[in-house]
Chains A and B, each alone.
Chain A
Amino acid sequence: MKFASKLALSALALATTAAFAAGEPVIGLITKTETNPFFVKMKEGAQAEAKKLGAKLMTASGKKDGDTAAQITAIENMVTAGAKTLLITSSGDAILPAVKKAQAKGVQVIALDSPFEGADALFATDNYKAGILIGQYAKAALGSKPAKIAMLDLFPGHPVGAQRHNGFMTGFGLKAHDAKSNELSATPETVCAGDTDGNQAKGQTAMENCLQKNPDINVVYTINEPAAAGAYNALKKAGKDKGVIIVSVDGGCAGVADVGKGVIAATSQQYPLKMAAMGVAAGVEYAKGGKKASGYVDTGVTLIAKNAVAGVDSKDVQTGTDLCWGKK
């Protein structure tokens, strides 16, 4: 009833909501970008699920990661257009006030992939766990040799970057911050750290500089697979591509192919399609008069490695290829 009285405050919102009320449920999907294969896959998953369940899907995105202004505009437009559920991969906390306003109008807001405060529910990869898996793998693959680790991060202050980084260190058996921290841990074993922006050219530059700092690096943690490809290129040019263990996170098709080629030793694969499909299903459920989704649902992460190591569960490249996102 409170919901109805709030609606009455806005004639426009009332009109548009009424127009859609009788028809199919409207669900909005707002991603960080339109072009990253990860979000392309997410959109595909949402569209397929919406078709299956008879829902209308609206989509929008920012121009690049961090483009919160475009996301805020999309939130406002979609609420005005009658969306009852918004699925958002947040580009930053600047969207929070717009999210609150939408929720006040009775809209269910679900965070996909990237957590943000105040979301009704979060469907996402456990990035800390993704880090732990590759940390455990790297530790087992390295064996008893003393570890000299290069940490190729995203950029400072990003929660996902910190979770993967600190998770990796924990999995490796090093002392690190917990999953809630946004700070990047460091120990004597992590001999070098550099930023990559998740970008191949910058990953290469960061690795080159790290090799100058310590030519004996034998483990490389990378924030994602493009950064890993860049790191490998730097190692190859320095004649050190053999015997250095590169681990990564994502499970995109290009990255899984790199695992097959031995460029990346192991990667933690995540599942954007599943996040989106679950989000749409939750939206349809809510539109039917059901409850809002709540809490955190782990959409799963699988360690993909060409060579399995003792004591660490992993799946082979074929399995990774079957489940990868992007162009095979």
Chain B
Amino acid sequence: MSTVKDRLPPLSQLGPFIALAVACTVFGLTTDNFFTAANFSLILQQVMVVGVIAIGQTLIVLTAGIDLSCGMLMALGSIVMTKVAQDFGLPTPLAILLGIGATTLFGLLNGLLVTRIKLPPFIVTLGTMNVAFAITQLYSSAQTVTEVPEGMTWLGNTFELAGNPVAYGVVLMVALYLATWFWLRDTASGRHVYAVGNNPEATRLIGIPTDRVLLGVYVLAGLFYGIASLLSVARTGVGDPNGGQTENLDAITAVVLGGTSLFGGRGVVLGTLAGAIVVGVLRNGLTLMGVSSVYQVLITGILVIVAVTVDQLSRKGGR
């Protein structure tokens, strides 16, 4: 049970947390208003959409796959839920379920194409990314949906915790991370995800239904994208057909910064959360410093390469 975990070198697990600590220290020393509870609350709200998308992405990367469609699926989900509420006056919970249902269905489609027709995930999700984008544009006529029922934006509201504002959506994000972490670490079905990513052939031979595990992972990822759709609506107060265009690469960035191996089978989902927060901290801190956004792109790019290098070197060392 613990062999996979024992092989994980501490550096790839600690990496995102070290990067986070360094970034926070630098911004804390160079700006006046970085180290405030309100600012951290804000950063967490800014990363909650990508953060939840990245949970789904982590699961898929753990199986040595990749999902390019996640951002577009998020946009599709938010258009479906806001538009059915606006056009047909459906009750809010039903509208939300339809939105999440749409992304989950696409997750199922991704999973079926990967497991039944044995297509590479990269190509499958490249295709479904485009299909989802087109459906989103056609269904919304490329118009932002602005009439959003109040119940759909509730997760964007904040409550006071020891005098500090905390968004309900951020609580949900953290809860989803903890639940996924527990599932992957401490349940048989969670360990199967690692096993499939490590060595699908051996996993199949010892009697684990690899295709079923894979299919489950893609469906579950679709579900997470649907929850991210709701969070996006809650945060912006609209259904935006032009959302989600960079979120696929943003989510992959969070996963890689978080120390999950792109070769599959290794990684901890909590690292992904740290990875997502690192990106948010850089964006926020550099704005506070008045530094051009190009440097944010530069630093993120360098961090990704460092993270992948650490993974590659530790992988060689493990052999």
**Closest A-chain residue to B165, C-beta based?**
A237
Interface size class on chain A is 20 to 34
Tell me how far the C-beta of A34 lies from the nearest C-beta in chain B, rounded to whole angstroms: 8
- B235 in the interface (beta carbon within 8 A): yes
A213 touches B294 (CB 8 A): no
Among B210-218, B283-291, B303-311, the one that faces the other chain is: B283-291
B238 touches A213 (CB 8 A): no
Give residues of chain A (278-316) contacting chain B, Cβ–Cβ below 8 Å: none
Give residues of chain A (227-270) contacting chain B, Cβ–Cβ below 8 Å: 229-230, 233, 237, 254
Q: Name the A residues within 8 Å of B294 (CB-CB).
A: 156
Q: How far is the CA of A205 from the CA of B42 in the complex (A)?
A: 9
Q: How far is the CA of A63 from the CA of B290 in the complex (A)?
A: 33
Contact of A200 among B36, B49, B143, B243 (CB under 8 A): B243
A201 touches B143 (CB 8 A): no
Among A16-24, A35-43, A93-101, A164-172, the one that faces the other chain is: A35-43
- A62 in the interface (beta carbon within 8 A): no
With contacts A37-B142, A37-B143, A204-B235 taken as known, whether A210 is within 8 angstroms of B287 at the C-beta atoms is yes
- B240 in the interface (beta carbon within 8 A): yes
**Closest B-chain residue to A195, C-beta based?**
B293
Contact of A213 among B33, B45, B241, B292 (CB under 8 A): B33
Provide the main secondary structure of the chain A interface.
helix
Q: Name the B residues within 8 Å of A229 (CB-CB).
A: 144, 238
B46 touches A155 (CB 8 A): no
Tell me how far the C-beta of B239 lies from the nearest C-beta in chain A, rounded to whole angstroms: 10
B237 touches A233 (CB 8 A): yes
Q: Name the B residues within 8 Å of A63 (CB-CB).
A: 130, 133
B142 touches A35 (CB 8 A): yes
Tell me how far the C-beta of B28 lies from the nearest C-beta in chain A, rounded to whole angstroms: 13
Tell me how far the C-beta of A235 lies from the nearest C-beta in chain B, rounded to whole angstroms: 12
- What is the 8 Å Cβ interface bit string for chain B, positions 127-169, against chain A (1 contact, 0 not)? 0001001000100011110100000000010000000000000
A199 touches B293 (CB 8 A): no
Q: Name the B residues within 8 Å of A208 (CB-CB).
A: 42, 45-46
Q: Name the A residues within 8 Å of B133 (CB-CB).
A: 63
Contact of B287 among A37, A197, A213, A326 (CB under 8 A): A213
**Closest B-chain residue to A186, C-beta based?**
B290
Tell me how far the C-beta of B162 lies from the nearest C-beta in chain A, rounded to whole angstroms: 20
Q: How far is the CA of A40 from the CA of B140 in the complex (A)?
A: 13
Q: How far is the CA of A86 from the CA of B100 in the complex (A)?
A: 43
Contact of B236 among A156, A195, A201 (CB under 8 A): A201
B42 touches A200 (CB 8 A): no
- What is the 8 Å Cβ interface bit string for chain B, positions 261-305, against chain A (1 contact, 0 not)? 000000000000000000000011001101011100000000000
Q: How far is the CA of A86 from the CA of B39 in the complex (A)?
A: 50
Tell me how far the C-beta of B131 lies from the nearest C-beta in chain A, rounded to whole angstroms: 13
Give residues of chain B (226-242) contacting chain A, Cβ–Cβ below 8 Å: 232, 235-238, 240-242
A201 touches B235 (CB 8 A): yes
- B312 in the interface (beta carbon within 8 A): no
A233 touches B287 (CB 8 A): no
Tell me how far the C-beta of A154 lies from the nearest C-beta in chain B, rounded to whole angstroms: 11
A209 touches B243 (CB 8 A): no
Q: How far is the CA of A229 from the CA of B36 in the complex (A)?
A: 26
A209 touches B288 (CB 8 A): yes
A209 touches B283 (CB 8 A): yes
Tell me how far the C-beta of B284 lies from the nearest C-beta in chain A, rounded to whole angstroms: 5
A199 touches B243 (CB 8 A): yes
B143 touches A212 (CB 8 A): no
Q: Name the A residues within 8 Å of B144 (CB-CB).
A: 200, 226, 229, 254
Contact of A233 among B33, B141, B236, B243 (CB under 8 A): B236
With contacts A36-B142, A205-B46, A209-B287 taken as known, whether A194 is within 8 angstroms of B236 at the C-beta atoms is no
B243 touches A201 (CB 8 A): yes
A212 touches B235 (CB 8 A): no
B287 touches A40 (CB 8 A): no
A64 touches B245 (CB 8 A): yes
**Closest A-chain residue to B245, C-beta based?**
A64
Q: How far is the CA of A322 from the CA of B232 in the complex (A)?
A: 32
Q: Name the B residues within 8 Å of A197 (CB-CB).
A: 245-246
Tell me how far the C-beta of A112 lies from the nearest C-beta in chain B, rounded to whole angstroms: 19
- A192 in the interface (beta carbon within 8 A): yes
B290 touches A209 (CB 8 A): no
Q: Name the B residues within 8 Å of A34 (CB-CB).
A: 137
Tell me how far the C-beta of A39 lies from the nearest C-beta in chain B, rounded to whole angstroms: 9
A199 touches B290 (CB 8 A): no
Binding site for A on B (CB under 8 A): 31, 33, 36, 38-39, 42, 45-46, 49, 130, 133, 137, 141-144, 146, 156, 232, 235-238, 240-243, 245-246, 283-284, 287-288, 290, 292-294
Q: Can you list 20 A-B pairs, Cβ within 8 angstroms, ordered by A?
A: A35-B142, A40-B142, A63-B130, A155-B293, A156-B293, A193-B290, A197-B246, A199-B245, A200-B238, A201-B236, A204-B236, A208-B45, A209-B284, A212-B38, A212-B39, A212-B284, A213-B287, A226-B240, A230-B236, A254-B143
Closest 5 CB pairs of A and B: A209-B287, A35-B142, A35-B137, A195-B293, A213-B288
